[in-house]
Amino acid sequence: MNDLLPALAAQRPLPRHCTTGNTIQVSHLRVCASMIEASVPPWFDARLPAGDECSHAAQLIARARDDPEGVFVVWEDGSVWRNANAAAEVRALASRMRTLGVDAGSVVALWYPNGFMMVRALLACSMLGATAALFNIALRGNFLSHALRKSGATLLCAHPDLVARLDGIDTGGVTQILTSGACSLEKRGIRVLDDADIDGGGVVAPAVVHPWHIAVIVFTSGTTGASKGVRVTAAQLWTLGRTHYGFLRPDDRMFLMLPLFHIAALGALTGALSAGASISLAESFKPAEFLDVVARTGATTAAGLNSAWMNMILQASDGAAALPAHRFRICLVTSLDAVARRFSKRLGCDLFAAYGMSEASGIAVSELNPAKDRSVGRLRSGLEGRLVDAFDCEVAPGLPGELIIRAALPWVLNDGYADDAEATTRAWRNGWFHTGDIFRRDADGDLFFVDRNKDVIRRRGENISSLELEAEIRSSGFVRDVAVVGVADESGGGEEVMAVVEPDERAPFDPAALIAFLVPRIPHYMVPRYVRVVDALPRNATNKVTKVALRDTGLVAGTWDREAAGIKIRRERLTG
């Protein structure tokens, strides 16, 4: 094996900031027709987290003890949350939550935008050893009700501006809502409590957390039905943080602009905590402000930039002779291309690509500044993977197939789906976890994303289940049937949503009326931009709609464009 070290080192260059004293430990590297195993990334060692590594709260308490005045979070307004203050406020909330009956093993639903309330509540759950079920702030109606039921939560911690959305829907097992300020809720059997009115019961010490503890439940779009709640273990979160962000040092600062109800942001938070690094937190991605925020807050890295976002950042800086002085040095991106390379040159930073999902802990990672466009790198160490056909038989080398994986260690992949044994069994069939994503593999073992083996649309960082959206459109009474597909976004930012409808012949069909029906019922990012009317949807011999034909046809003359009609949907902005 030692004779592979020089070649491996040549393929995997050290980061620009590393010294010659750094070493790369290689356990094994094997690429063959039936399996991919790779010792990547160089900063990651596949193992289970030990002791306090499993607990976000324990790591915060250690920071407060060792460096009480050290910076934990720089908020969007420039104010600073220092380690000691953060620990005290997290402990205080944990004490109040304990008074409400939360303890180790409880499930607490968190419904906040990025900000103080979200970070404090997430860490308070960790302090108590509770599981945090994380809800997208765009949820409403049936989507919100579904998440509440599946989570199993009895306590919901919510932003005050969101509580009214609970009126008139099934809230599952929720019996208490903890919020801030006065909120009205016309629902019997649920206590709405003001955070400030709850007395705590003394100092809370961090609960003992093991690798198999369910740290969070993250909701993701389903492959064949409604959204599923992924049961994410402490070991999975720690592994994700170390895989994607194991390069971090205590003097680094993570610019976190992805929502903390998504796994990518949780991985970045975990990586920063594990390394003793600090965080610059933004409510959302604002391309025109990215470089100024990076410079002002001293951010050295960021999580999850894609080509469209990097292009927006570059366009925002066009015409500037020089960028503001900054410390930004390295960034994870979805994959590299010409735009990413311009971004790297403009900022003078290293880039690497990575691939993962809510169900798995950092699946693939590239070397720094990879030469291959569109590659997501190789499987991280400790994972085994195959590219297979619909029957789980391996495809021939060079052909695309679904990536399936399994791990050498326990608890580092998902613990199934909350309250959905059928979906769990289907995803884990034949002893492998099925990603549902199609890749091809080159002779070097590098993976290239091809397509999704799912009925899911990827729009501006959000996964949209077309089946869920179709159900809402059918409930409008305006259509006989509908198929929802993704079409290319003209701005290069992934896909836009198109609804192809067979209208109900009993009344004239008005696309604007359909949009007006959907807006109060679904998340803003799911509202279709395009509506195409057809006499009949294309179907196969078993009467199933053949969506591939609709995707291939795409936008045709006569397709209604919501934005061209002057109807623009904006995300509701909240402050944390």
* Torsion angle of the four alpha carbons 319, 321, 322, 324, in this order, in degrees rounded to the nearest 10: -60
What does the pLDDT read at residue 453?
Answer: 73
**Could you report the per-residue pLDDT of 14-40, keeping only the tens digit for each?**
333 333 233 223 233 333 333 444 457
- The rounded distance, in Å, linking the Cα atoms of 131 and 368 is 35
Residue 474 has phi, psi (to 5 degrees) of: -65, -35
What domains appear along the chain, each with residue ranges and CATH number?
Answer: 56-207 (3.40.50.980), 232-452 (3.40.50.12780), 464-561 (3.30.300.30)
Percent residues over pLDDT 90 in the chain:
68
The DSSP result for 48-63, as a single string, is ---GGGG-HHHHHHHH
Q: Which two tokens stand for residue 190?
A: 């649920």
SS3 100: coil
State the DSSP H helix or E strand holding residue 82, giving kind and residue range, or none if neither: strand 80-82
User: So what's the pLDDT on residue 471?
Assistant: 84
Whether the predicted pLDDT of 2 surpasses 60: no
Tokens, residue 157? 């911690």
Task: Give pLDDT tens digits for 107-123.
Answer: 999 999 999 999 999 99
DSSP for residue 70:
S
pLDDT at position 575: 76
CA atoms within a 13 Å half-sphere pointing along the CA-CB vector of 516:
8
For β-strands 80-82 and 71-74, DSSP reports them as antiparallel
In the predicted structure, residue 239 carries a pLDDT above the cut 60: yes
Give the whole-angstrom CA distance, residue 298 versus residue 74.
Answer: 10
Question: For residues 216 and 133, what is the distance between their CA atoms, to the nearest angstrom?
Answer: 6
Residue from 308, 310, 306 nearest 294 by CA: 310
pLDDT reported for residue 221: 59
Neighbours of 198 (CB within 10 A): 16
> Above 60 in pLDDT, residue 500?
yes
Of 10-14, 192-196, 222-226, 348-352, the least confident: 10-14
At 220 the pLDDT is 81
Report the percentage of the chain scoring pLDDT > 70. Answer: 90
Helix (H) or strand (E) holding 37: strand 36-37
- Residue 4 scores a pLDDT above 60: no
Q: What is the pLDDT of residues 244-298, one digit of tens each?
A: 999 999 999 999 999 999 999 999 999 999 999 999 999 999 999 999 999 999 9
Span 319-346, pLDDT tens digits: 777 889 999 999 999 999 989 999 999 9
Assess whether pLDDT exceeds 80 at residue 224.
no
The whole-angstrom distance between residue 203's C-alpha and the CA centroid of its chain comes to 33
Residues of 70-99 as b/e, b for ≥16 C-beta within 10 angstroms? bbbbbbbeeeebbbbebbebbbbbbbbbbe
What was the pLDDT predicted at 192? Answer: 92
pLDDT of residue 51: 85
Beta strands (DSSP E) in 262-327 are 278-281, 301-302
The yes-or-no verdict on residue 368 having pLDDT over 60 is yes
| pLDDT for the residue numbered 340 | 93
Chain segment 550-559, per-residue pLDDT in tens: 888 889 999 9
Q: Which helix (H) or strand (E) holds 407?
A: strand 401-407
Preceding amide of 397 cis, omega within 30: no
Q: Mean pLDDT across the stretch 432-449?
A: 93
Query: What does the pLDDT read at residue 541?
Result: 58
Asked if residue 7 has pLDDT above 50, the reply is no
Between 540 and 22, whose confidence is greater? Answer: 540
CA distance 561 to 129: 48
Q: What is the pLDDT of residue 542?
A: 60
Per-residue pLDDT tens for 139-172?
999 999 999 999 999 999 999 999 999 998 999 9
Burial class (CB in 10 A: 0-12, 13-18, 19+), 371: exposed
Evaluate if residue 491 carries a pLDDT over 80: no
Please tell me the predicted confidence (pLDDT) of residue 492.
Answer: 58
| pLDDT tens-digit map of 297-310 | 999 999 888 888 89
In angstroms, what CA-CA distances link 263 with 111, 136, 215, 251, 509?
Answer: 15, 12, 12, 24, 39
Q: What is the pLDDT of residues 33-69, one digit of tens each?
A: 334 444 579 999 899 999 899 999 999 999 999 999 9
Which of 192, 139, 131 shows the shortest CA–CA distance to 162?
A: 139
Query: Which span out of 10-24, 454-468, 509-523 was modeled with the highest average pLDDT?
Result: 509-523
Task: Compute the distance between CA of residue 556 and CA of residue 302 in angstroms, rounded to an integer.
Answer: 39
Tell me the C-alpha distance between 394 and 390, whole Å.
Answer: 9
What lies within 8 Å, CB to CB, of 393 at 6+ separation is none
Q: What is the reported pLDDT for 571?
A: 83
Q: Enter the pTM of the model.
A: 0.84
Query: Residue 361: which residues within 8 A CB-CB, separation 6 or more?
Result: 235, 236, 237, 239, 240, 243, 412, 413
Q: Where is mean pLDDT largest: 214-223, 419-428, 483-492?
A: 419-428
Average pLDDT value over all residues in the chain: 88
